[in-house]
Chains A and B, each alone.
Chain A
Amino acid sequence: MPVGGTWGKLLHVDLTDGRHWIEEPPDEIYIKLVGGRGLTAYLLLRDLPVGADPLGPDNLLIFAPGVLQGSNLPGSGRHGVGGKSPLTGAIASSEAGGWWGHEFKRAGFDALIVHGQSPKPVYLWIHDGEVEIRSAEHLWGKDTADVEWAIQAELDDKRIRVAQCGIAGENLALFANVLNDINRAAGRGGLGAVMGSKRLKAVATRGTLRVPVAERSRIGAVSKWLGDNYKTQAAWAVEIGTPRNVTSLGAASALPTNNFGKAMFDERDRISGELMQETILIGRDTCQVCPITCKQVVEYEDATFEGNPYLRSDFINKLKVDKAYGGPEYETLGSLGSACGVDDLIAVAKANEYTARWGMDSISLGMTIAFVMECFENGLLTPEMTGGFKIGWGDAAGMLEAIDLIAHRRGFGDKMAEGSKRLAKWIGNGAEAYLVEVKGQELPMHEPRFKHALGVGYAVAPVGADHMMNMHDTAYVSPGATLEKVAEVQRFEPMPATYLGHEKMELFYHEVNWKHLLDCGIVCHFHPYNYRHVSEALAGVTGHDYTPREILTVGERAQTLCRLFNLREGFSAEDDIMPRRVMKAFKEGPLAGVEITEEAFFTARNYWYGLMGWTQAGVPTAERIEKLELSDLLEGVQVATA
């Protein structure tokens, strides 16, 4: 009898020779790793040759839900995607919402591991235990919505869920993403390019099987709590969603502006969530089994919004924005808005449509364009170097043109599609001074000078700069539900967001383990569960009596496995650093004079290494590997511990 919440089956498909086979892992894999990131990191350590080319046949593309997918727990409408990142060379491990993960799990498998490279474009059709490789030559080069609808028509079922790489992934843009349900993205790290390199256009899935769970009543109790409380405990998500951050972080000088180079975005009211609600927002959207409904849906055609004091656009009556592609969340309003100095909401909405239509991570896309803008502004790039392309701060039309060039790898887009770090190397001449990335992955839209522990988190996240497997200091400046949640394992008093002492890093240790655990489960971070809710849900699904401390250990295992993978691929503590720009103080605004000194950063980072049981060189010790009960799993696997 498999562990509850699982089938005991990992599906492997080799696209080079068309074989597929089932692996039946021992129960301890599911109990110790749960799924998602933990499972992904373990499989990569075990099966990926060291130094593999991320765009070559040896890379693995792993679609990994967790034990909770298929359980109908609110917040379980998610799945993970992972592999070796072509952008960074480190592990890539992203999550996406929607319905695909739930559907795939009900199709009878716990994960999909794609090997090899197909000689021609194909898609996988996985349904109720059956696996087919089908030609995708007619789908290659098509937009994501057209691909999804075409597959549903071809297989005559509108309830089929589709995960795919877009045109950008086909063209191997290094920050191409994997989209599912048209507009839900496993965003960071270029997994769409990995998918495109395998000539795997899509994974279509339909499942009617009932996922076995151990004790449904325990899951039901957590679900009921969520249903009774989400309107108050996740009010922000219900009322407006992530776009609230434009106004909120903007007020605190924490809305990244002009490539993190400017303290305030004075025009933030022109790209805010509130303005979106007044103008182009036509509805909200959700994921499998989620009542919160946090997503944005926008549409634009032919409206002038006369009388609105904030909306200002060069594109009134000049373009359309298609609602099929959702709407901009905060990261996109920032990366393709304030980070580029763009204050044109309709242009940002169109840019968002392009990211979903063609399949690109909006954060790396926007920040690469912002880097290009800054290089032009400082004379490091000229139209002679770029074949005539030119762009500067706030140039919305240029931004839209850049996105088109990047997705299709046309003209200067071919260079921009490599990401800002490679682009800086090509430009030379000191362009590296304008880079805002860690390990080659561009920073998300949260200002480390305001959230200091988050800055350390950017430096140490296994995938490069990342805001989700991280801690947001602003949640701990007051008493409330977040500190009460952590009090389950350690009690903390409120701390300033700009404090970076030992207590902050102890809080960081627990909360980042928690975030990694959520990405193993898999549970949406926006659901206001505490440690007990999720340990109870995991216990109910699996039949294993997880405690809050034990689930944090699951998260720590996932982090440690990611670390071992990265060390093996040549990364070290020297790569766990913050970009210089975001350590230096602004001269004006609420954060004037607030810096992160090198001493404070390294003291905090190294203290956290100790909490993780890693050496001061950032290497997990054999003792901690043993304590995490990973030694057995790693037998025969090439890793280096201290």
Chain B
Amino acid sequence: MAVTIQATGILKQHIAPGLTLDGVRTVGEAVARLDLPEMGELILLVNGRPAYWETALADGDVLHLVPGISGGNRRPATGQEPPVYR
């Protein structure tokens, strides 16, 4: 059973285009398998529909991970920070 993973925004740094996972039965198992740095809020879509951690996955499903704006993250900040105005 293969599930395709899509990512938006900064998550693309961790998820290669066209990535597939085998043997993951839920969204939570898929995210855990990806071994992302602990992300903050994740907006989860399965086949373009709202999902959550326990949403079941089927062969051929597309899991889309979108970064939200809350929660914690163990990943160190990367990239050049824009200049502070004041």
Contact = CB atoms under 8 A, between A and B. Distances in A.
A248 B50 CA distance: 13
Nearest to A274: B9
A242 B49 CA distance: 23
A235 B40 contact: yes
A478 B28 contact: yes
B18 interface: no
B71 A480 contact: yes
Interface stretch (A22-30, A109-117, A469-477, A566-574): A469-477
Given A232-B77, A235-B77, A481-B71, A251 B66 contact: yes
Taking chain B's interface residues, is the majority helix, strand, or loop, or is none over half, making it mixed? loop
Interface string A233-275: 1011111101011011101100000000000000000000010
Contacts of A498: 50
B83 A283 contact: yes
Interface in B13-68: 28, 31, 38-45, 48-55, 64, 66-68
A244 B44 CA distance: 16
Contacts of A236: 40-41, 67-70, 73
Given A245-B69, A293-B84, A474-B43, A251 B10 contact: no
Interface stretch (A458-466, A489-497, A544-552): A489-497
A297 interface: yes
Nearest to A299: B85
Contact of A235 (B42, B75, B85): B75
B84 to A, nearest CB: 6
A326 to B, nearest CB: 9
A477 B71 CA distance: 12
A474 B72 contact: no
A382 interface: no
A89 B19 CA distance: 54
Given A474-B41, A480-B72, A590 B82 contact: no
Given A244-B67, A249-B43, A482-B41, A590 B84 contact: no
A153 to B, nearest CB: 19
Contacts, number: 142
Contacts of A277: 82
A475 B84 contact: no
Contacts of A494: 28, 52-54
A191 interface: no
B72 A495 contact: no
A281 B49 CA distance: 33
B40 A239 contact: no
Interface residues of B, number: 41
A283 B52 contact: no
A478 B52 contact: yes
A591 interface: yes
A242 B50 contact: no
Max chain A C-beta neighbours (<10 A), residue from B49, B54, B64, B71: B71
Interface residues of A, number: 51
A496 B51 contact: yes
Contact of B52 (A239, A249, A477): A477
A237 B86 CA distance: 17
Nearest to A450: B50
Nearest to B32: A479
A296 to B, nearest CB: 9
A242 B82 contact: no
A450 B50 CA distance: 8
Nearest to B47: A590
A210 interface: no
A528 B72 contact: yes
Contacts of B67: 236, 244, 248
A323 interface: yes
A251 B86 contact: no
Given A235-B73, A480-B40, A481-B72, A285 B53 contact: no
A502 interface: no
Given A248-B9, A251-B43, A594 B50 contact: yes
Contacts of B8: 247-248, 251
A284 B82 CA distance: 7
Max chain A C-beta neighbours (<10 A), residue from B68, B69, B70, B79: B69
26 contacts: A232-B76, A233-B40, A235-B77, A236-B67, A236-B69, A244-B9, A282-B82, A282-B83, A285-B86, A286-B84, A286-B86, A293-B84, A472-B70, A474-B41, A477-B51, A478-B44, A478-B53, A479-B28, A480-B38, A480-B39, A482-B41, A493-B54, A498-B50, A528-B71, A589-B48, A590-B50
Given A477-B51, A477-B53, A494-B53, 18 more contacts: A231-B77, A232-B73, A232-B75, A235-B75, A236-B40, A236-B70, A236-B73, A237-B69, A251-B45, A251-B66, A281-B82, A283-B85, A297-B85, A475-B41, A475-B70, A475-B71, A478-B31, A497-B50
Interface of B: 8-10, 28, 31, 38-45, 48-55, 64, 66-77, 79, 81-86
Interface of A: 229, 231-233, 235-240, 242, 244-245, 247-249, 251-252, 274, 277, 281-286, 293, 297, 323, 330, 450, 472, 474-475, 477-482, 493-498, 528, 589-591, 594
